[in-house]
């Protein structure tokens, strides 16, 4: 059983490393773009909710 | 510890968003003057509202040319009064309390929204600049006829206004 466990962990990645990159070379710009779009949506929804739906809705407790 | 530059961007943007949230709330409170409903109305004996100076005399009362007070009691399944008429261009302060159970007050199409609690006076002030019709409802489940607990606030042009209740 011991040998089986060892081979399972060894098999998790048994390919050759094709390219090794440094910390700052990792560049997931697609993820950044997606998060950026989410961020803009959230910011615009906040502006809409607060200024249009809340402050724009008639009489307010003063 | 190395922090990736994308993470730095993300941290900065997140902080900016939080500062933006706080900034808009601050603008609403300081710039626009939006207030929270608090306990400034004080307390009252819910079993003896009839002899209370304010709640023994429900309805619309005039403070001055542009300021009116509405004294209202919520008691299942009604608001007393349930039909309110005020002139446009006035500031209205609502004083509300309950004599039986906890009720709610939401003036539809406005930001006027509070609980009405026995023993506590809910005091909210708002300005009604334009003529219009507003419905109001109880939004705290208060009993079998909760769904019928509603009323109407008419903001009428000043020259059509019928005057105060008493």
**How far apart, in whole angstroms, are the C-alpha atoms of residue B12 and residue B16?**
6
**Cβ–Cβ < 8 Å for B80, B60:** no
Using a CB–CB cutoff of 8 Å, tell me whether A62 touches chain B: yes
Question: CB distance B112–A39 less than 8 Å?
Answer: no
User: For chain B, percent helix, then strand, then coil, each to nearest 5?
Assistant: 25, 40, 35
| B46-160 topology per CATH | Immunoglobulin-like (2.60.40)
Q: Is the pLDDT of residue A7 over 80?
A: no
**Mean per-residue pLDDT for B153-162?**
90
Residue A1's pLDDT band, with cuts at 50, 70 and 90, is very low
Residue A8's pLDDT band, with cuts at 50, 70 and 90, is low
Q: pLDDT tens, B22-80?
A: 999 999 999 999 999 999 999 999 999 989 999 999 999 999 989 999 999 999 999 99
Residue B81's pLDDT band, with cuts at 50, 70 and 90, is very high
ipTM for the complex shown: 0.75
Q: Residue B128 corresponds to which tokens in the numbers above?
A: 């009604």
Least confident of B6-10, B89-93, B159-163: B159-163
Question: CB distance A60–B111 less than 8 Å?
Answer: yes
Q: pLDDT tens, B34-45?
A: 999 999 999 999
Q: Strands, DSSP E only, in B20-137?
A: 59-64, 67-75, 78-80, 83-87, 90-98, 103-107, 113-116, 122-128, 132-137
- Give the start-to-end residue ranges of the domains of chain A: 27-55
Residue B118 carries which DSSP code?
B
Inter-CA distances, B142 with A17, A25, B58, B113, B125, Å: 68, 63, 21, 16, 24
Q: pLDDT tens, B82-93?
A: 999 999 999 999
What pLDDT is stored for residue B134 in this prediction?
Answer: 96
Contacting A residues, span 37-56, partner chain B, CB-CB under 8 Å: 39, 42-43, 46-47, 50-51, 54-55
């Amino acid at each position: 059983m011991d040998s089986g466990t060892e081979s399972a962990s060894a098999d998790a990645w048994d390919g050759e490393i094709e390219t090794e990159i440094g910390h700052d070379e990792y560049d997931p710009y697609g993820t950044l773009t997606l998060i950026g779009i989410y961020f803009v949506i959230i910011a615009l929804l906040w502006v809409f909710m607060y200024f249009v739906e809340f402050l724009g809705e008639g009489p307010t407790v003063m | 510890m190395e922090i990736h530059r994308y993470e730095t961007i993300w941290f900065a943007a997140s902080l900016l968003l939080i500062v933006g949230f706080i900034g808009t709330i601050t603008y609403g409170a300081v710039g626009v003057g939006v207030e929270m409903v608090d306990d400034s109305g004080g307390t009252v004996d819910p079993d003896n509202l009839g002899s209370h100076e304010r709640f023994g005399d429900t309805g619309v009362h005039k403070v001055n040319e542009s300021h009116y007070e509405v004294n209202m009691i919520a008691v299942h399944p009604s608001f007393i009064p349930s039909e309110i008429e005020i002139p446009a261009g006035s500031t209205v302060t609502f004083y509300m309390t309950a004599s039986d159970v906890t009720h709610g007050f939401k003036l539809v199409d406005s930001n006027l929204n509070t609980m009405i609690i026995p023993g506590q006076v809910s005091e909210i002030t708002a300005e009604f600049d334009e003529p219009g019709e507003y419905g109001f409802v109880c939004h705290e489940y208060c009993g079998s006829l909760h769904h019928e607990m509603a009323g109407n606030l008419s903001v009428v042009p000043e020259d059509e206004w019928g005057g105060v209740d008493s």
